[in-house]
Amino acid sequence: MHIPDGYLSPQTEAVLGAAMVPVWYTATKRVGKTVKSKEVPLLAICSAFAFLVMMFNVPIPDGTTAHAVGGVLIAVLLGPWAATIAISIALAVQALFFGDGGVLAFGANCFNMAFVMPFVGYGVYYVLTRNMSLTTPKRAFSAGIGGYIGLNAAALCASIELGLQPTLFHTAAGVPLYSPYHLAQSVPAMMLAHSTVAGFVEFAITTGVIAYLQRANLQLLQINAPNVPVTDEEIQRRRLPGWGWALIGIGVMIALTPLGLLAPGGAFGEDSPKDLPLSQLGLRAVPEGLNRFSSFWSHAVLGGYGFHSGDHPVIGYYLSAIVGIVIIAAVIFGIFALVKAFTPSRGKSEGADKIEPAAT
């Protein structure tokens, strides 16, 4: 779902990037007011989780791959505005340091995965969980449904953006300038990958994490749902203090990241120009605009989550995971330090150290 540079026209990228500016502004303002110092590590952990889970590529029956995102899970925990910040930072790190997703297409990728996905998925979750207690199993299932629908909504947006390019931007002879895939090709391919495989992975991850937290760390679920009633049953006390449970989970994910190398093929719409099946697309050459902009960003430190030589892919994947998490943590703590420095101090009110429930 990471659209590379060259697949979208500059006009499309400008429109989607401009659409994200007020979203980022509102998200920064909302999260800056509601997320207090003690919740900043949790936001960093959530962004690192999204970064890692997107490294786990799963094979699709048509020979491509796809991945989960974790956007709705973050929205359930901290609200959709916080999810926008967390996913946007993860996508920025992926594009700049690992060449995963385009730099010019950053706004489009954020529109799909950091805006559409968390807000659509959280909206579904919010509707399904009205009048439900915080510990009912239906809440975890509803979060999973939100994750499945949110991921597929993001995939649909990406497929439409790719599929409209040949219609809107082409030469006088009708040759595509950017993405060579028409709607009849992009929509079925993207939706097959995400509705049959990646969506269920997203469902399982979201449901599993929420179900675990219902038993082991109910206080975490109460951050974004402080007024939701809890059942009278005694809740198991968490065994790990502070952020221990989350840090162990991140460590396990880092250890397992090389599994993402096992999936054969690449994701639909993410091929480099030299790998495009030109004959199958009825083309004699790579589309002009795609060929021009595909190499716009050539400064990725670990392009493709590995060394430029291609040697030691497992070590490269491990190193990418660690470097990505360190950068994400530094960016999030840096943003909140700046927000705190430029925000006038206000008197503390009761409950000011909690994240306000998100409005839908």
DSSP state of 39: G
Query: Is 2 part of any domain?
Result: no
CA dihedral angle for residue 305, residue 116, residue 83, residue 297, rounded to 10 degrees: 30
Structural domain containing residue 98: 10-342
Query: Is 29 part of any domain?
Result: yes
Q: What's the full length of the chain, in residues? A: 360
Name which of 69-78, 180-189, 249-258, 315-324 the model is least confident about.
Answer: 249-258
Residues 6+ apart with CB under 8 A from 201: 58, 67, 68
Query: What are the structure tokens assigned to 167, written together?
Result: 């219609």
Three-state helix/strand/coil letters over 223-264: CCCCCCCCCCCCCCCCCCCCCHHHHHHHHHHHHHHHHHHCCC
User: What's the pTM value of the predicted model, to 2 decimals?
Assistant: 0.81
pLDDT at 350 over 70: no
Query: Is 84 part of any domain?
Result: yes
Which of these, 298, 322, 337, lies nearest to 55 by C-alpha position?
A: 322
Angle at 133 between CA 129 and CA 134, to 5 degrees: 90
* Mean pLDDT of the region 163-175: 94
**Percent of the chain at pLDDT above 70?**
89
pLDDT at residue 348 in the model: 44
Q: 305 — alpha (psi -120 to 50), left (phi > 0) or beta?
A: left
* Residue pLDDT, tens place only, 170-192: 999 999 999 999 999 999 999 99
Name which of 181-195, 196-210, 248-262 the model is least confident about.
Answer: 248-262
Which of these, 74, 79, 69, 73, lies nearest to 35 by C-alpha position?
A: 79
**Percent of the chain at pLDDT above 90?**
50
* Residues 118 and 224: beta-carbon distance below 8 Å: no
pLDDT at 240 over 50: no
More confident residue, 359 or 282: 282
CA dihedral angle for residue 7, residue 10, residue 14, residue 15, rounded to 10 degrees: -70
CB atoms within 10 A of CB 358: 22
Place of tokens 């999260």: 31
330-357 burial code (b ≥16 CB/10 A, e <16): ebbeebbeeeeeeeeeeeeeeeeebbbe
pLDDT at 323 over 60: yes
Question: pLDDT confidence of 243, banded at 50, 70, 90?
Answer: low
* Residue pLDDT, tens place only, 27-66: 998 888 777 777 788 899 999 999 999 998 888 887 788 8
Question: pLDDT confidence of 128, banded at 50, 70, 90?
Answer: very high
Determine the Cα–Cα distance for residues 355 and 257; give it in Å rounded to an integer: 31
Domain with residue 268: its CATH number is 1.10.1760.20
Query: Is 280 part of any domain?
Result: yes
Question: pLDDT confidence of 299, banded at 50, 70, 90?
Answer: confident
Place of tokens 């495009």: 276
Query: Is 5 part of any domain?
Result: no
Query: Is 109 part of any domain?
Result: yes
Query: Is 288 part of any domain?
Result: yes
Strand segments, DSSP code E, in 240-348 are none
- Give the rounded distance of the alpha carbon of 356 from its chain centre: 22
Question: pLDDT confidence of 345, banded at 50, 70, 90?
Answer: low
Query: What are the structure tokens assigned to 286, written together?
Result: 């790579």
pLDDT at residue 234 in the model: 39
CB atoms within 10 A of CB 303: 17
Domains identified in the chain, total number: 1
Query: What are the structure tokens assigned to 348, written together?
Result: 């503390």
Query: Is 355 part of any domain?
Result: no
